[in-house]
Chains A and B, each alone.
Chain A
Amino acid sequence: MKVLTAVHKKIKDLHPHEAIAPGTGLCAGCGGLEGLRMGLKELGDDFLICNAAGCFTLLSVYPFTPLKGSWLYTTMGGPVPAAQGVRDALDIRMRHKGLEEKENLNVIVVAGDGSSNDMGFGPTSAAIHRGLDFIYFCYDNEAYGNTGFQLSAASPYGSATQTTPSTDVHEAGTEMNKKDLFEIWKAQKPVYLATVSPREPIDLSNKFARAKDLKGPRMFICMSPCPTGWGFDPKEAQQIAKLAVDTGIFPVKEYFEGEMVHTVRPRKRLPVEKFLERQKRFRHLFAPHRQDEVIEQIQSRVDDYWRKYD
């Protein structure tokens, strides 16, 4: 396996440069925005974001853009093919029309878990198949957040969403399991694939730094604590993100050249309850009565996952 070097060792190493200005229309405490902000620090300003309908569509509301680079709003299912068209056009212009290399752009897709797992899933698979040279940033807040938090294929078992509420008949709320987008994408062997957490900035920055110099599909899934949808105070976003990692619910990992590595491993996994109990979307698991069976199932799924790697 090719040795991936860590560019950054401590927080002080991270670029002071910002490609996203503060003061966007996104929610305070949005974990995904923090992830994107740090990712773009590594990628530099020569980028174009093809955006899918979702929370991040509010990044650029006419006549404003917080970005140093370019932006193209597309559709919910179409950011990846839009990235294909931009990539192809730039390649054509550089190869045949005298466009200088310095005019080249990093083509980035920014899409939520709804678009990534559902409507945009097929086109993304097709782009990996074509070997499209692009970076995919999925901010995963585990539901359709921008429309008020409805079920997506990334919504975890036991969470309540607006369209899978907890009721006497369906106490768990969401009864399906979260789609394992990482494993599905991995099956297509993209050039680079990683999960990142805004609570692990050095890990995140190193991963973007690595991806920057590779060519081909480079896929990121960013755990995105969502104050409004998950139900917590925005100031707790970092703690929630940390608990997602420390409980083992959100594995921080990387796939490159056929090998998958956990880049941040919780030393001693905390019980999942520590993560669940702080969010309104899981409150029904604790009140009016404890749903031990559901909590145990969530715990045993996490245990099953890590048993393979312990």
Chain B
Amino acid sequence: MKTPNKIMLTGNKAAAWGARMAGVEYVPAFPITPQTEIVETLAKWFADGTLQGKFTNMDSEHSMFMAAGSAGATGVRVFTASSSQGILHGLESLYTITGWRVPMVLVNVSRALATPITLEPDHNDVMSTRDCGLIQLHAETCQEVFDFILMGYRVAEEVCLPVLVNMDGFYLSFTREPVLIPDEQEVRSFLPLYTATQPVFQASRPMARASAVFGGATYTSFKLQQELACRNAEGCFNRVAQDFEKHFGRLYGPVETFHLDDAEYVFVMSNSFATKGKSAVQKLRQQGIKAGLLKLRLFRPFPGEAIASALAGHAKVAVIDQNLAPGMGGITYPEIVTSLYAREDRPEKILSVIGGLGGKDMDDQDFMAIIENLDKLDGGSPLYLYDEKDVSGFNRLQQIAELKEAES
């Protein structure tokens, strides 16, 4: 193994480098903050000949995902990226192309959804794609973004489904971290240049794809094939991860554990805020509180067994959702609780926590509030990480807007 280059990259640049090293041939693109840096970078590389193929400026995310999908069905390695409203605008296309069973990798740079419109991250955008049949990998670091793209193509091309790699806007997309970029030959031995193994559109092979169906049984046949392919993707991911470790020395399980073995309190987190969670765990341990963390990486297919095995036997678990399904609460919470239901040694308490909405920071006090809630018999669930100082901050804004008379 040649010594890889270590360079400082933002999450966005790491994504662009991932696509570049994967040898992508086609990028249909549409700008949206905070993702734009990815497609700008790729546009330059296609324009100056660094990358061979085509970069096409599209007119919307709906169009972009359609073009990505149909190009995937025509036999080229496709990459694209989006975020937030773009994901929602393109959601119909995402459902469509997962049904087409085409391989590709797309990056979502998480950003909260309107209304109100904002730029900072939470995960309602990526969660909106939860049920459309995408494989989802959630990245905490710039290195994970890069690595997951390479791994993503292996998985996508084996199970014939698109892979979405998620990272948080701003917190990761614009944060520079050292990223190991392996030698191109080493990448090629892990991920060869693309040759489609499935039938693709060309004159000698006429075929009808995505034809209409009549009757629920025919529809169900297709949907169950998609379901099986997506479920197979977990085993595929694990095999690819082992091969990735052989080539590059980094092993990625479907979940990551941090000080979990003897933990009495476990935070379940994902993406860049897991770094904040890990820091909180270390501080809590210094205070003698046995905290630990479970980080979700593979979110679709849902690795229920891996998650349940990691959480079973721990007394108190807090599932921190940086998303909100109004009227229900955290979106991942019920999935995690379900995975534990059949376990006799399931946690005594599994708390739903809603935090980090619209990029709202999570500090040590927030993690302490979670610990305190976990210690109470009836702490109230979900726990919203929104406290007195947040209320007074909002009141100040209203005063500025003269919605309320100044209190003084």
Interface residues of A (CB under 8 A from B): 45-46, 48, 50, 57-58, 60-65, 67-75, 77-78, 80-86, 88-93, 96-97, 99, 102-105, 122-123, 125-126, 130
Q: With contacts A78-B96, A85-B74, A90-B74 known, is A65 near B211, CB below 8 A?
A: yes
- If A61-B214, A85-B71 touch, does A67 touch B208 (CB 8 Å cutoff)? yes
A-B pairs under 8 A by CB, number: 161
Contact, CB under 8 Å: A123 / B60:
yes
- Pick 20 A–B contacts, CB within 8 A, sort by A: A45-B206, A60-B212, A61-B211, A65-B208, A65-B211, A70-B207, A71-B209, A72-B209, A72-B210, A81-B66, A82-B70, A84-B28, A85-B72, A85-B73, A86-B73, A88-B71, A89-B71, A89-B201, A104-B203, A125-B59
Residues in A whose Cβ lies below 8 Å from that of B58: 81, 84, 126
B92 at the interface (CB under 8 A from A): yes
Cβ-neighbour of B74 out of A45, A89, A125 (below 8 A): A89
With A61-B211, A81-B64, A126-B59: A92-B54 Cβ-Cβ less than 8 Å: yes
Q: How many residues on B have C-beta within 8 angstroms of the other chain's C-beta atoms? A: 45
> Are A73 and B212 closer than 8 Å at their CB atoms?
yes
Closest A-chain residue to B195, C-beta based?
A97
Q: Which of B25, B56, B69, B218 contacts A82 (CB 8 A)?
A: B69
Chain B, Cβ-Cβ closest to A104: B203
CA distance A135 to B287 in the complex (A): 70
Task: Give Cα A61–Cα B213 distance, bound, in whole angstroms.
Answer: 6
Question: Does B202 interact with chain A (Cβ within 8 Å)?
Answer: yes
Q: In the complex the two chains form, is B66's CB within 8 Å of A75's CB?
A: yes
* A93–B28 touching, CB < 8 Å: no
Question: Which residues of B in the span 32-90 have a Cβ within 8 Å of any Cβ on A?
Answer: 52-54, 56-60, 62-64, 66-76, 78
Closest approach, in angstroms, between the C-beta of B373 and any C-beta of chain A? 45
Contact A92 B66 (CB under 8 A): no
Which residues on B sit within 8 Å (CB–CB) of A96?
25, 52-53
Shortest distance from the beta carbon of A131 to any chain B beta carbon, whole Å = 11
Separation of A74 and B92 alpha carbons in the complex (Å): 10
Return chain A residues, CB-CB under 8 Å to B73: 72, 85-86, 89
Residue contact B96 to A103, C-beta cutoff 8 Å: no
Q: How far is the CB of B81 from chain A (nearest CB, A)?
A: 16
Set A57, A62, A105: member contacting B202, Cβ < 8 A: A105
- Cα distance A72–B92 when bound, in Å? 16
Are B212 and A81 interface neighbours, CB within 8 A? no
Q: Does B189 contact A (CB under 8 A)?
A: no
Bound CA–CA A74/B213 (angstroms)? 14
Is the Cβ of B202 less than 8 Å from the Cβ of A82?
Answer: no
Q: Is B270 an interface residue (CB 8 A)?
A: no
- What residues of chain B lie closer than 8 Å to A86, measured between beta carbons? 70-71, 73-74, 201
Which residues from A are CB-within-8-Å of B59? Answer: 81, 122-123, 125-126
Which residues from A are CB-within-8-Å of B210?
72-74
Contact between B201 and A102 (Cβ–Cβ < 8 Å)?
Answer: no
The reply to whether A62 and B203 form a contact with Cβ atoms under 8 Å apart is: no
Query: In the complex, A71 Cα to B59 Cα: how many Å?
Result: 23
Q: Do B212 and A92 touch (CB < 8 A)?
A: no
A105 adjacent to B62 (CB under 8 Å): no
- In the complex with contacts A92-B76, A93-B76, A96-B25, A60-B93 CB distance below 8 A: no
Q: Which 8 A-B pairs have the closest CB atoms?
A: A126-B59, A85-B70, A89-B74, A85-B67, A81-B63, A85-B71, A65-B208, A71-B208
